[in-house]
Structure formats: structure tokens, C-alpha cells
Amino acid sequence: MTQRLHLVFGGELVDPSRTTFKDVENIHIVGMFPDYASAYNAWKAEAQRTVDNAHMRYFIAHIHRLRDEEVETAPTEELGG
């Protein structure tokens, strides 16, 4: 079975209409999850916990999309040289 990892993270944004973090050193890493459903549940819990702060945003990153095991060199490897 293919594992599809998802990272949930968030923090305070400079402007709620953009995705630029106010302080990247204070990004909250919620965790890595083995499937979208569990990542979504974690994301939703953090989003609801911080609902009173309009500048707080949480995101789900699809880690499994960063590397394609079927391709000899994934596009992300090409960036490193």
C-alpha cells in the first residue's frame, strides 16, 4: 500500500489575505500524518483552536507529492544540483 504523508503546520500571517508568515521561526508544526483524513482532522482542530485570531492560518502540505518514487530523478532533486 502506498503511503501518502501529509504535514500540518501553521502560524501567524502578516496579512490574512496572503500566505506570508509573520515569523517563520515560530511556525507551529502540528505533525506528520499518514493520510489526508487524519491530517484534515488535525488541521481542523488547530484552525478551530485559533479561530479568534484572524491572522492565524494552518495548512496541509501533501508531502507525498514532493517525490515520485517511480521517476529516476524527482523534480525536487534537480533543484539541489
Q: What are 10's strand-pairing partners?
A: 28, 58
| Confidence label for 73 from pLDDT (cuts 50, 70 and 90) | low
Domains defined for the chain, CATH in brackets: 6-79 (3.30.70.2400)
C-alpha cell recorded at residue 14: 502578516
pTM over 0.85: no
| HSE toward the beta carbon, residue 39, CA cutoff 13 A | 21
The strand pairing partners of 57, in sequence order, are 11
What is the predicted pLDDT for the residue at 42? 97
Q: What is the pLDDT of residues 16-67, one digit of tens each?
A: 999 999 999 999 999 999 999 999 999 999 999 999 999 999 999 998 787 6
Spatial neighbors of 65 by CB under 8 A, at least 6 apart, are: none
Distance, CA of 38 to CA of 60 (rounded, Å)? 11
